[in-house]
Chain A
Amino acid sequence: MAESLYQRDVYGQALVELGKQNKDIVVLDADLSGSTRTSIFAKEFPERFFNFGVAEQNMMAASAGLASCRKTVFVSTFAIFASGRAWDQVRNTICYSNFDVKIVATHAGLTVGPDGASHQALEDVALMRAIPNMNIIVPCDGPQTREAVIAAAGHKGPFYIRLGRPKVPTIENKGEFKLGKAQVLTPGNDVAIIACGIMVSQGLAAVKSLSEKGIKARLINLHSIRPMDCETVLKAAKETKGIVVCEEHTIVGGLASSIDEVVAENYPTAVKRVGVNKRFGQSGEPDELLREYNLTGPDIEKAALSIVRK
């Protein structure tokens, strides 16, 4: 049984690691430091941590002021507030000036669970992806969260890193993490499954089940939504019968739309989207919600079969 980790725990620990190496790392939170785990950094480096209270817009614009004074600023709150509540501050004051601000947003997607629709960010990647200069990473598990945070710290400019609330199983043998380079997790030329975040582990379940039916699926962990690894996507488009895109996000504007854009312009092929289909979320346990919104291994398998058996 693979280990399961909270991405947020790994994030908090990675911040401490960075804080020790670099005195210019500053961390901001908006009254959710216990949940986002920036509290781990706050305990270690109280003079470089600022809690802005329940005021996300102020926090985002303040991060730009700090960055203008050569600080590398990590800013955390829940994804729904980081992307929606403070969008104008992120666009006009962080991204337009191309500041070194890393927004690490936790509690993204349906798996927030019982808190329900108001707290389930399903549009955040779409909102962030529309802004020039913004880099976007959706890590698939705990170890990849650390890699993403370290990579963002070492790469100038704004980032949006999307993390979830529950523990996620660690995906074995992913290979090296490189910003903008997708990871091919399983070989296969019948169909491609491109996933990010928690949907990678659902994708693995689908691959296993498909292989029992004699279908070889190529599973791609596309952790960097921007910059996007177009080469790996187009290779999959050319070498398989079609692509299933899986994300814990609305099918409008996120990973699925990114793939649609790449293949439509370069190598049109069949694309099926496994994501939230223009609905708000609701209360429930994470597993129940993934089933209710058709975001499970069997749903991915069904979509893959519809491509293979066309």
Chain B
Amino acid sequence: MIKEYPQAQIKGLEEQAKKIRRLIVQMLVRAGSGHPGGSLSATDLITVLYFEVLRHNPKEPAWQERDRFHLSKGHCCPLLYAILAERGYFPLEELWTLRKLGSVLQGHPDRRTPGIEVASGSLGQGLSVSVGMSLAAKIDKKDFRVYTLLGDGETQEGNIWEAAMAASHFKCDNLCAILDYNGFQIDGKICDIMELEPLAAKWQAFGWHTIEIDGHDVKQILAAYDQAKAIKGKPSIIIARTVKGKGVSFMENVCDFHGRAPTKEESEKALKELDG
């Protein structure tokens, strides 16, 4: 039975995602460095998670019953910071300190930021971290769920597949990975640098339930999280087809914007596009 979501709610989430994209652009132009491409490609996925799916309390980040989210692809923290600020984990003004000396918003996630569970930045370790969180829930017989966002290039790390094996071995059905499959990595197209296909088949072979969606379709995203929640006995992965730099025409599918902040002119152009 697929849960129906009212059109107004879907529209609201789409608007929220657009707002998050604007904040990402504004943060990065002020910071002068950072990673727009992968932040924009995963915006819809993580906005829906934080505004609709996740059980959490921004006023009490250490609440023991909270669902856990871990950003395995740590370089996309502008996305997470914008969402955490919008959800009230810290004041919005903090966003303008990104990557500055003494800021609570480091260039890659760190526990000094309210709402960040575990530091990340060195790729390939976040799925293992999430397996640990999942096991902690099982030991304590708690019903919180664990979500983690993986980059596609990141899954070239061997550590990911060690964790994939362990998650199904330990039957981590409280664990849901989200794979932001935008098809690009720093040096170029994934298929040219190090092919991942057949990707869903790989995860299935490792014992995972796979859900393939359009990662920019809010309705599909909501349905995917619902489906993952219902799967018992094995972990789930949402393999979301996305567009790197989504929402800003001149950043879309442009490798250069993996790790380059927009200039002032570019940011103005980008914000104009995101206004509409």
Q: What is the interface of chain A, defined by CB distance below 8 A to chain B?
A: 26, 47-48, 50, 52-53, 55, 57-71, 88-89, 92-93, 96-99
B66 CB, min distance to chain A CBs, angstroms: 10
Contact A63 B119 (CB under 8 A): no
Contact A68 B132 (CB under 8 A): yes
CB-CB nearest in chain A for B126: A61
Per-residue CB contact flags for chain B residues 109-148 toward chain A (1 = under 8 Å, else 0) read 0110000011111100110111111111101100000000
Contact A64 B135 (CB under 8 A): no
Partner of B132, one of A53, A66, A88: A66
Q: Helix, strand, loop or mixed for chain A's interface?
A: helix
Task: Return 9 A-B CB contacts under 8 Å, by A number.
Answer: A52-B166, A57-B125, A57-B128, A65-B129, A68-B132, A70-B64, A89-B159, A92-B125, A93-B118
Q: What is the interface of chain B, defined by CB distance below 8 A to chain A?
A: 64, 68, 70, 110-111, 117-122, 125-126, 128-137, 139-140, 158-159, 162-163, 165-166, 169-170
Partner of A55, one of B68, B111, B129, B165: B165
Q: Helix, strand, loop or mixed for chain B's interface?
A: helix
Contact B128 A97 (CB under 8 A): no
Contact B133 A97 (CB under 8 A): no
Q: Which residues of A contact B163 (CB under 8 A)?
A: 58, 61-62
Contact A62 B137 (CB under 8 A): no
Contact B121 A57 (CB under 8 A): no
> How far apart are the CA atoms of A63 and B129 in the complex, in Å?
7
Q: Which residues of A contact B110 (CB under 8 A)?
A: 96-97
Contact B121 A92 (CB under 8 A): yes
Q: Which residues of A contact B134 (CB under 8 A)?
A: 65
CB-CB nearest in chain A for B138: A47
For the complex of A and B, the 5 pairs showing the least CB-CB separation, nearest first, are A65-B132, A61-B128, A69-B136, A58-B162, A62-B132
Q: Which residues of A contact B117 (CB under 8 A)?
A: 68
Q: Which residues of A contact B136 (CB under 8 A)?
A: 26, 65-66, 68-71
> How far apart are the CA atoms of A55 and B195 in the complex, in Å?
23
Q: Tell me which of B118, B140, B163 has the highest count of chain A C-beta atoms within 10 A of its own C-beta.
A: B118
Contact A64 B132 (CB under 8 A): yes
> How far apart are the CA atoms of A99 and B136 in the complex, in Å?
14
Contact B166 A97 (CB under 8 A): no
Partner of B125, one of A47, A50, A93: A93
> How far apart are the CA atoms of A179 and B120 in the complex, in Å?
30
Contact A58 B128 (CB under 8 A): yes
CB-CB nearest in chain A for B158: A57
Q: Which residues of B contact A65 (CB under 8 A)?
A: 70, 118, 128-136
CB-CB nearest in chain A for B121: A92
CB-CB nearest in chain B for A47: B139
> How far apart are the CA atoms of A61 and B169 in the complex, in Å?
17
